[in-house]
């Protein structure tokens, strides 16, 4: 598979160099972490496997890739100047523009000099005597650092299913998450797309414009809401910028970390006519806020049935061939798998050169020299696009040999599912921090908000440790166990825990079924993190001892905002009910 235009690394390896922190990854998480640590006077080295900054937006260059949280909110909040000077061109900006923004941030804050690109971290080992991490890369670097900070992303380890005879296929094979940087010209080619998640739903309409034929191999259909993307209105941009600090506060008060109109009323308290009206209005506005049409849609199955039926009706309204429409209609809970946001996805199936193959009962048997075989039928294609997702949340940790105390590896420890305290760190791995790690809101919140909150907490923690000359911090196992149980308990309140999604690791065979992100709501989670810190890092030991010292809080408190009482959800109530710290 072509992994894009990778530049050969020409630099000398770094050997026997010591840093305060090594950061793995230079996506939005790694860049902000570097910026914060520099501001506190720490030395830091970032290693990045890609040839540039941007993480997800560096790799996911497939046609049609764009954010599905509005651009004015899908951005850093730490710098008011940055907020004011950057302009987005569209309501949902395309990948190249988001990558431009990442590059702008890297330049504006002069981050590149501390980043080593084209360098993949292969191993991180905790030295119990020296109380530091030894980090190795595929470029021969062997450096040490007091802190090792994993900024590896939640959806960055591509899942390429081991299709039988995959190596025999003579055409071009791509994964959407590792799309060639020079692009792919599909003009006149027969394209087969495997998968119908967000990446497929964004890319299929665009690829269909070029391809000679486009055949979609669907294992599970997905709901999708129209994006209603448009050029950003300059007046709207001006107004938003004038009120940016207030908007950022409103975002922090929301369970998802982004702001949109939300109707707390339960769906079944409305009449059928009222529901229909609300759904139509929300559908007309489009995007993920569609799920805010009523307050209980992700918590009550009967309520969800009403929105699911509405979603299916919309598919049938658009797709002309009834058999194809039937195949495209999901039967499971609406929004259980991450809701997709589309621009002309279902309409694409009305095109004469686009077809759908149901592989729900008869999976892909094998690839041949010329194509894809399922149910004994060979579908000849020139290009296969695997839109098959990621080993979510933990895959990028598994790709690095992370060895903690007593020689235990993180992969061994997480064999039955990830175990963290607050999604920040894991017992037995002192001074190893995970930005948006499993057990934190991460993918259930707006990622950039979740990243900034984690980074600010970590920066405060490291500053405090320096203030009191502490060498190590590590969670206590009983607090970690309580947190893992809590994450699991709260998830049961939500219908999202009920289907086989990547949230529970079910998209990759053999992975344990555990609901990995924290669904208790962003502001509730922030309160817990802040309480832990202001209680002297409750649940952690510093240099092996419980600490009573009041930390100097530099950045973390800004994240504590009153919860928006208009949107208290059952998950938030459950999150508050269950004591953790
Ligand atoms: O991946 P997915 P994705 N044979 O896991 C199918 C974010 N994102 O890259 O559902 C055949 O959702 C699989 O089938 P099934 C967003 O959070 C955001 O699309 O497991 N099919 C499914 O249809 C998103 O949720 C944006 O039965 C196989 C598909 O491949 C997340 O990334 C854009 C298969 C994978 O769907 C992941 O999205 C894009 C097999 N062996 C992504 N294995 C934005 O808009 C898997 N599949 C911001």
pLDDT tens, position by position, 136-175: 999 999 999 999 999 999 999 999 999 999 999 999 999 9
Atom of ligand 1 minimally distant from the CA of 337: 25
Residue-by-residue DSSP string for 418-443: ---BTTTB-TT-TTEEETT-BTBSGG
Q: pLDDT by residue (tens digit) across 30-67?
A: 999 999 999 999 999 999 999 999 999 999 999 999 99
Structure confidence by residue, pLDDT tens digits, 88-122: 999 999 999 999 999 999 999 999 999 999 999 99
Percent of the chain topping pLDDT 90: 92
Report the separation in Å between the CA atom of 199 and the middle of ligand 1, taken as the mean of its atom positions.
Answer: 6
Residue 385 contacts residue 207 (beta carbons within 8 Å)? yes
What is the structure's pLDDT at 8? 58
Whether the predicted pLDDT of 73 surpasses 50: yes
Residue of 219, 366, 391 to mutate, ligand 1, most atoms within 8 A of C-beta: 219
Measuring CA to CA, how many Å separate 242 from each of 145, 235, 246, 564?
Answer: 42, 11, 9, 22
Mean residue pLDDT across the chain: 95
Residue 80: pLDDT band by 50, 70, 90 thresholds?
very high
369/563: higher pLDDT: 369
Span from the CA of 195 to the centroid of ligand 1 (angstroms): 6
Ligand 1 site, residue 502, Cβ cutoff 6 A: yes
From 388, 496, 502, 508, mutation site for ligand 1 pocket: most ligand atoms within 8 A of C-beta: 388
CB 517 within 8 A of CB 392: no
φ, ψ of residue 386 in degrees (nearest 5): -90, 105
Name the residue with higher pLDDT: 551 or 373. 373
The answer, yes or no, to whether residue 9 has pLDDT greater than 70, is: no
CA distance 568 to 244: 24
Q: What is residue 187's predicted lDDT score, i.e. its pLDDT? A: 98
With a 6 A CB cut-off, is 196 part of the ligand 1 pocket?
yes
Nearest-angstrom CA–CA distance, 520 and 450: 13
Please tell me the pTM assigned to this model: 0.96
429-482 residue pLDDT tens: 999 999 999 999 999 999 999 999 999 999 999 999 999 999 999 999 999 999
Pick the atom of ligand 1 nearest to 338's CA. Answer: 25
Out of 498-507, 542-551, 553-562, the most confident range is: 498-507
Q: What is the mean pLDDT of residues 190-195?
A: 98
Longest CA–CA span in the chain (Å) reads 70
| CB-ligand 1 contact for 199 (6 Å cutoff) | yes
Does residue 445's CB lie within 6 angstroms of at least one atom of ligand 1? no
pLDDT of residue 7: 47
Taking residues 564-577, what's their average pLDDT? 83
From 389, 442, 517, the mutation candidate for ligand 1 (largest count of ligand atoms within 8 A of CB) is 389
Tell me the C-alpha distance between 504 and 119, whole Å: 30
Atom from ligand 1 closest to the CA of residue 69: 48
Pocket test for ligand 1, best of 447, 507, 513 (most atoms within 8 A of CB): 507
CB 217 within 8 A of CB 357: yes
Whether the CB of 505 sits within 6 Å of ligand 1: no
Per-residue pLDDT for 266 more than 80? yes
Other beta carbons within 10 angstroms of residue 4's beta carbon come to: 17
User: Cβ(150) to ligand 1 under 6 A?
Assistant: no
Position 1 scores a pLDDT of: 43
- Write down the pLDDT at residue 553: 85
Q: Give nearest CA residue, ligand 1 atom 20.
A: 507
More confident residue, 549 or 272: 272
Measured from the Cα of 508, ligand 1's closest atom is 43
Does the structure show a pLDDT above 50 at 6? no
> What is the mean predicted confidence (pLDDT) over 492-503?
94
């Amino acid at each position: 598979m072509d992994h894009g235009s990778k530049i050969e690394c020409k630099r000398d390896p770094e050997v026997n160099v010591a840093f305060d922190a090594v950061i793995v990854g230079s996506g939005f998480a790694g860049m902000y972490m570097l910026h914060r640590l520099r501001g506190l006077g720490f030395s830091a080295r970032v290693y990045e496997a890609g040839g540039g900054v941007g993480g997800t937006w560096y790799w996911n260059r497939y046609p049609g890739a764009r954010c599905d949280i509005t651009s004015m909110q899908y951005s850093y909040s730490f710098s008011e100047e940055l907020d004011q000077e950057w302009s987005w061109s569209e309501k949902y900006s395309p990948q190249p523009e988001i990558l431009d923004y990442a590059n702008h941030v890297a330049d504006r804050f002069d981050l590149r000099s501390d980043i080593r690109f084209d360098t993949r971290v292969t191993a991180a080992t905790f030295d119990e005597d020296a109380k530091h991490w030894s980090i190795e890369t595929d470029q021969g670097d062997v450096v040490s650092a007091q802190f090792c900070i994993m900024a590896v992303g939640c959806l960055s380890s591509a899942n390429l299913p081991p299709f039988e005879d995959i190596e025999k296929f003579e055409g071009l094979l791509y994964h959407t998450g590792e799309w060639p940087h020079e692009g792919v010209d599909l003009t006149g080619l027969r394209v087969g797309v495997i998968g119908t998640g967000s990446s497929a739903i964004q890319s299929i309409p665009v690829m269909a414009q070029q391809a000679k034929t486009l055949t979609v191999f669907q294992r599970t259909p997905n709901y999708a809401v129209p994006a209603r993307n448009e050029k950003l209105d300059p007046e709207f941009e001006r107004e938003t910028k004038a009120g940016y600090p207030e908007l950022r506060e409103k975002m922090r008060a929301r369970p998802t970390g982004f702001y949109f109109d939300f109707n707390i009323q339960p769906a079944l308290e409305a009449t059928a006519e009222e529901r229909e009206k609300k759904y139509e209005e929300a559908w007309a506005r489009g995007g993920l806020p569609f799920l805010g049409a009523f307050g209980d849609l992700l918590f009550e199955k009967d309520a969800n049935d009403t929105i699911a039926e509405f979603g299916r009706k919309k598919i049938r309204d658009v797709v002309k061939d009834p058999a194809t429409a039937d195949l495209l209609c999901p039967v499971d809970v609406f929004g259980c798998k991450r809701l997709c946001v589309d621009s002309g996805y279902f309409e694409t199936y009305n095109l004469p050169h686009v077809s759908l193959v149901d592989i729900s009962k008869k999976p892909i048997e094998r690839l041949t020299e010329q194509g894809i075989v399922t149910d004994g039928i060979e579908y000849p294609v020139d290009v296969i696009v695997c839109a098959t997702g990621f080993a979510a949340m933990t895959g990028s940790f598994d790709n690095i040999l992370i060895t903690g105390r007593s020689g235990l590896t993180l992969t061994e420890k997480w064999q039955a599912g990830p175990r963290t305290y607050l999604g920040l760190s894991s017992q037995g791995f002192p001074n190893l921090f995970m930005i948006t790690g499993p057990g934190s809101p991460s993918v259930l919140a707006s990622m950039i908000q979740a990243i900034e909150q984690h980074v600010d907490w970590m920066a405060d923690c490291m500053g405090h440790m320096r203030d009191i000359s502490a060498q190590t911090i590590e969670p206590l196992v009983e607090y970690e166990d309580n947190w893992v149980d809590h994450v699991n308990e709260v998830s049961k309140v939500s219908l999202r825990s009920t289907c086989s999604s990547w949230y529970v690791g079910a998209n990759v065979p053999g992975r344990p079924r555990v609901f990995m992100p924290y669904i208790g709501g962003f502001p509730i989670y922030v309160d817990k993190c802040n309480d832990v810190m202001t209680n002297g890092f409750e649940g952690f030991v510093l240099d092996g001892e419980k600490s009573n010292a009041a930390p100097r809080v530099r950045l973390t408190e800004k994240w504590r905002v009153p919860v928006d009482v208009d949107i208290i959800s059952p998950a938030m109530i459950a999150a508050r009910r269950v004591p953790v710290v």
